[in-house]
Structure 1
């Protein structure tokens, strides 16, 4: 192995899922909120084509009520998972370890301000590179940037679709459930 790619939300940090709190704040079901969010440009927000301000302006039109604050930032309360941080720090003594994350600018800034990305050698954020998981191009972009081959790379994510997409291009991948299980999996592969 030469390169490890880690997801951030659900792997490095808890408290990153904001859909339910925002939906509840707006008096919507999760499904209703996501339907409006898709129409308002959620994907475009995640690949950096529009800003959070533009997103909420679009969302307000569909919602019928003006949203003036960035609720993405307001409800975002990430907390580091110490066991994952320790595991990444151990891996970094022998390997290059980067983040590969679907995110938006306001979440990226909060993570940065709180020092969450400091554990990584580099961060590949969807809103900055214009690509997002599970697109194969997302992984290929990282591999090219890191001069790594798929078979030299290990990917960790808590979303099965992302893990499956990485596996399709021969990146060894693991669906994350806990740092302890990840450590056991790596040990079984001879990676300490």
Structure 2
């Protein structure tokens, strides 16, 4: 689903999410594996808070693992990492080619804005190779990972950080994400938005959408 800013300002900047926009994810993989080994496990508010703190870089990987082990008795650190990282798949070559071509044309300022964490980024590099990861990263003017900048979506402060850090305005910026909650915050702030639906839409279809792109 796509929506455009009411002012119809020309888009000069594009802010992309990462997961299920460029890299494929299996979002249910970790819970499937946990429940296979620990059927009684429940995702309570304390665990959700731990996940959010880890995404914001507030707690270290070591503290994150120790926190989970309280709910998963006798699990090894390595097995926990395997389960946690099972969500991460690969960046399809057609999407890498798309963002490389868009970057090379130089018509837009390109930004990546991802809720992620240290372990997941390590797995991204492992699955895709360091060379491909750097090819991807180098396509963007700025590459914002939540655990590095200490903000996370859908909070307004992460969008304000990107705007202020680059001296850009929401009315000239398109934000693309597969999570409606994130889209809603951006929309309220005046961004153009595309709530991309994984499996039904692909980022390579971007310029077939009815946005006020530059000629």
Alpha-carbon distance in structure 2 between the residues aligned to 1:39 and 1:165: 20
Deviation, 1:36, is 7.3
What is aligned with 1:173?
193
Gap runs ≥5 in structure 1: none
Gap runs ≥5 in structure 2: 1-10
Could you say which structure has the greater relative contact order, defined with CA pairs below 8 angstroms and 6 or more residues apart? Answer: 2
Task: Output one character per residue of 1:135-163: Cα deviation in whole Å (capped at 9) or x when no partner.
Answer: 01111101111111111111111111111
What CA RMSD, in Å, does the superposition of the two structures yield over aligned residues?
2.6
Alpha-carbon distance in structure 2 between the residues aligned to 1:37 and 1:75: 22
Alpha-carbon distance in structure 1 between the residues aligned to 2:14 and 2:94: 16
Deviation, 1:128, is 0.7
Q: Is the 8 A contact 1:21 1:75 kept in 2?
A: no
Q: Is the 8 A contact 2:23 2:90 kept in 1?
A: yes
Query: Closer, same or farther in 2 for the Cα pair 1:155/1:39, shift >3 Å?
Result: closer
Query: Closer, same or farther in 2 for the Cα pair 1:63/1:169, shift >3 Å?
Result: same
What is aligned with 1:100?
113
Q: Is the 8 A contact 1:46 1:127 kept in 2?
A: yes
The runs of at least 4 aligned residues of structure 1 exceeding 6 Å deviation read: none
Show the 5 A alignment for 1:120-131.
Answer: 120-131=140-151
Instruction: Give me the TM-score of the superposition, normalised by structure 1.
Output: 0.83
Alignment coverage as a number of residue pairs: 189
Task: Output one character per residue of 1:68-115: Cα deviation in whole Å (capped at 9) or x when no partner.
Answer: 222356525421133433332343221111110000011123335351
Question: Which entry has the higher C-alpha Rg, 1 or 2?
Answer: 2
Out of 85, 91, 102, the position equivalent to 2:102 is 91
Alpha-carbon distance in structure 2 between the residues aligned to 1:134 and 1:172: 16
Q: Is the 8 A contact 2:88 2:120 kept in 1?
A: no
